[in-house]
Amino acid sequence: MPIDAPSAMRDRGSPAFAQLLAVGQRNAPGWERYEAAMRGIFERRYYTNQGPLARELEQRLQDFLGVKHAVCVTNATIGLMMASEALAISGQALVPGVCDRAVEHALAWCGVEAVACDVDPATGQICLDSAVTTIDGASVDAAVNAIIGANLWGGACDAEALASLARDRGLPVLFDSTHAFGCTVRGGRAGRFGALEVFSFSESNVLNAAGGACVATDDDELAARLRNIRSSYGAGRPVPVVKTSNGRMSEAQAAIGLLSLDDYAANQAHNQSLTDLYRARLSSIAGLRVVEPGGVDASNHQALLVELDERVFGRSRDALVERLAFDNVEARAVSRASVVARQTAALPVTARLCSSWLELPVGAHVREAMVETVCEIIARAHQEETAA
């Protein structure tokens, strides 16, 4: 549904946008390309179970990411569950204090308890020092048996350092790269670090395959396990597995994913231009910092985050979220992993980040004029408080 362009002058008391300006990428192919792809599926009468489009998408993802295997699945939660099972993770697994709830759900499906460490104050990515302290401080009967890294908001954690820590401790490492598709790290695409790396292709992410996902790896044995876990009768070389799932990607998902992959460069460039505009317009507002995607050579810029200093800006993060909501602008508060609330050890950086960071709209449905209006609303909110 298209979003009405903002009026040049707001009527007093009326929202700046007639419809919600939402967070999330919302990249979608044009109707003619979509219709042609769907007609092909119905003509072939092959709808799922490693059809020709799913196999083509896997090959193109392998080429794009520079990995030996890209195992496509129906969604990222299933992908994380399958990856955890393929690695035979047990006991406790380390997660960053800020991560997608799907990570904890996947671990729980495998009977694994998540334990959180703190994050970096500048980037929000997992903090290596805190990870070391958490792993080494665990008791013998509650040892950490795996590390889950998260590459968040178009940035990346220090994957090499995390993988080195995992090797030193003899632990498998799995990366949740839900937000990192297309990002480059040390000259190559994300997807090459750790034993397995999971990418999400939901509508909110820069590559859209109607909720699909893939698990990337260079390990032939892990890839074989994944393909046999993915469905009850497996695919490719048969290997013994304990659990199976119904994680097959449909041909419709693969068709949309292929079209979205064709559009990746244009969508990334659009995100970049919106990010540059936000940075330019918000830089003059005291108490705000645009969070730069750290740890990457090039970002997909699929998320725009801002850190708010309440003492300087004059409003709390939550108050600004409410103010933007009045104008039909979604501003999403960054949330912590649910495990954090259950832990007795304090994670001060996670706590501060989750009370001061917010995500603003970027994506296919956002235009530069809309960014200008959002920044004007934020500037006005600041001025109202400083003038009070």
The model's pLDDT over 94-127, given as tens digits with 9 standing for 90+, comes to 999 998 888 988 999 889 999 999 999 999 999 9
Cβ–Cβ under 8 Å, residues 66 and 188: yes
The ranges of the chain annotated as CATH 3.40.640.10 are: 31-262
For 317, what's the count of Cα atoms within 13 Å in the CB-facing half-sphere? 21
- What pLDDT score was predicted for residue 339? 67
* More reliable by pLDDT, 308 or 244: 308
* More reliable by pLDDT, 1 or 69: 69
Q: Bridge partners of 308?
A: 288
Q: Bridge partners of 116?
A: 95
Summary mean pLDDT of the chain: 91
Name residues whose C-beta falls within 8 Å of residue 310's C-beta, 6 or more positions apart in sequence: 287, 316, 317, 356
Distance CA 105, CA 107 (A): 5
Residue the block writes with tokens 């395959």: 209
Read off the DSSP letter of residue 126: B
Checking if the pLDDT of 32 tops 70, the result is: yes
Q: Torsions phi, psi of 168, nearest 5?
A: -60, -35
**Amino acid found at 29:** P
Cβ–Cβ under 8 Å, residues 89 and 66: no
Residue the block writes with tokens 């998408």: 57
Distance CA 50, CA 260 (A): 19
- What pLDDT score was predicted for residue 207? 97
Distance CA 44, CA 99 (A): 40
Q: What is the mean pLDDT of residues 351-379?
A: 96
Distance CA 144, CA 243 (A): 23
Which CATH architecture describes the domain 264-387?
A: Alpha-Beta Complex (3.90)
Q: pLDDT, tens digit, for every residue of 195-216?
A: 999 999 999 999 999 999 999 9
Q: What is the mean pLDDT of residues 230-234?
A: 79
Nearest residue to 358 via CA among 282, 283, 305: 305
**Amino acid found at 177:** S
| 1 Cα distance to chain centroid | 23
Q: Return the CA Rg of the chain.
A: 22
Distance CA 168, CA 299 (A): 29
- Could you please state the CATH topology (level 3) that the domain comprising 31-262 is classified under: Aspartate Aminotransferase; domain 2 (3.40.640)
The ranges of the chain annotated as CATH 3.90.1150.10 are: 264-387
- What pLDDT score was predicted for residue 214? 97
Q: pLDDT, tens digit, for every residue of 147-163?
A: 999 999 999 999 999 99
Largest pairwise CA distance in the chain: 70
pTM over 0.85: yes
